[in-house]
A and B are shown apart, each in its own frame.
Chain A
Amino acid sequence: KAGVTQTPRYLIKTRGQQVTLSCSPISGHRSVSWYQQTPGQGLQFLFEYFSETQRNKGNFPGRFSGRQFSNSRSEMNVSTLELGDSALYLCASSTGQAYTEAFFGQGTRLTVV
């Protein structure tokens, strides 16, 4: 079956702009989590959506938001971009059940100039 698809793969934006990233999870998976990867910081948790509801949230400012649609596809939005937002954004999909692993997409590389 198809894996986790993230679009676009690469993005260059200017400070102050906003951006929307998309994630299509594995068919049948109802949980989508978003992570930010920066050098030295590892994978920092942004938020998790399950059945269209935000179930968990990390410690990121309100400029970072997300949503999940009825088909489990998810979008992440970052408003008023800052240079420090440059990172690899990874989406992970899972069934949302206990004791199961998450499957990652290839990520979207966002560069803010």
Chain B
Amino acid sequence: DQQVKQNSPSLSVQEGRISILNCDYTNSMFDYFLWYKKYPAEGPTFLISISSIKDKNEDGRFTVFLNKSAKHLSLHIVPSQPGDSAVYFCAASATYNNDMRFGAGTRLTVKP
């Protein structure tokens, strides 16, 4: 039942460079997409979202891109900072019934 897939379990980037995290989904009913960040021993915290009527949403260093035809979204972090090191979860929601599903997560390590 993997309706949301994050195929890269881990990503390592140098401080100051761009981090690109990818996510694919299969359910065409999903129309709202979110990214969460999770530190050890804490619950995930909301980072940024995008609705299906947009293809880009930006919030400071974080930008989410949505390609509906490819059922693909990505999170760009520019510039990456060591404090960004965490597990990032992609989530997709079908707003008609509030069904929200998550991917397996990508562990980002930003090296100083």
Contacts and interface: CB of A to CB of B under 8 A. Distances in A.
A50 B34 contact: no
B43 A105 contact: yes
B36 to A, nearest CB: 8
A55 B104 CA distance: 23
Interface string B1-42: 100001001000000000000000000000010101000011
A48 B64 CA distance: 26
A45 B43 CA distance: 15
A98 B103 contact: no
Interface stretch (A12-20, A36-44, A73-81): A36-44
A4 B101 CA distance: 19
Interface stretch (B69-77, B78-86, B91-99): B91-99
A33 B100 contact: yes
A99 B96 CA distance: 10
Interface in A85-102: 90, 92, 94, 96-99, 101-102
Given A42-B104, A104-B43, A106-B42, A48 B98 contact: yes
A96 B98 contact: yes
